[in-house]
Structure 1
């Protein structure tokens, strides 16, 4: 009976990184501590995620930038707030 020959891959799990779900942690802002599992069918995690909070007042926008830690693992860090002044109104 012939034996099946398998080559060793660098990935010890034997699963291609492109087909693995991604584990993503959010640090800072309103999503601080949230862990998201992004299914492989959705593709690679986005480099930037925008979170918009709508409430009784003006909308609040937070942006998170991805720092990959390895295949299928990353951390989204809150981008520092940029103060935008409305120059159409006199001080």
Structure 2
């Protein structure tokens, strides 16, 4: 049995979300953009890829002082 490839989100509105995939992608996206539209202005969050030995990879919320990868 193969182990699922797990992607975790850390910080922001997706904090704690865990996505499971049958296999690791050939090239994971370096940045994931989440657009929040619920009942107000559009809010955009960027999550940058970091590898995690235990999980596969994690996307961490980019903070204001961080540079884009």
The normalised TM-score by structure 2 is 0.71
**Aligned partners of 1:62 and 1:81 also within 8 Å:** no
Question: C-alpha separation between the residues in 2 aligned to 1:56 and 1:49?
Answer: 22
Runs of 4+ aligned structure 1 residues displaced above 2 Å come to: 38-45
Question: C-alpha separation between the residues in 1 aligned to 2:41 and 2:58?
Answer: 28
Identify the match of residue 61 of structure 1 among 44, 47, 56.
44
RMSD: 2.8
Partner of 1:47: 30
Corresponding pairs, count: 65
Question: C-alpha separation between the residues in 2 aligned to 1:74 and 1:33?
Answer: 13
Q: Which runs of 5+ in 2 are unaligned?
A: none
Q: Which runs of 5+ in 1 are unaligned?
A: 1-12, 83-91
Identify the match of residue 34 of structure 1 among 3, 17, 41.
17
1:80 corresponds to 2:63: yes
* Larger strand fraction of residues: 2
The normalised TM-score by structure 1 is 0.56
Question: C-alpha separation between the residues in 1 aligned to 2:14 and 2:57?
Answer: 15
* Larger helix fraction of residues: 1
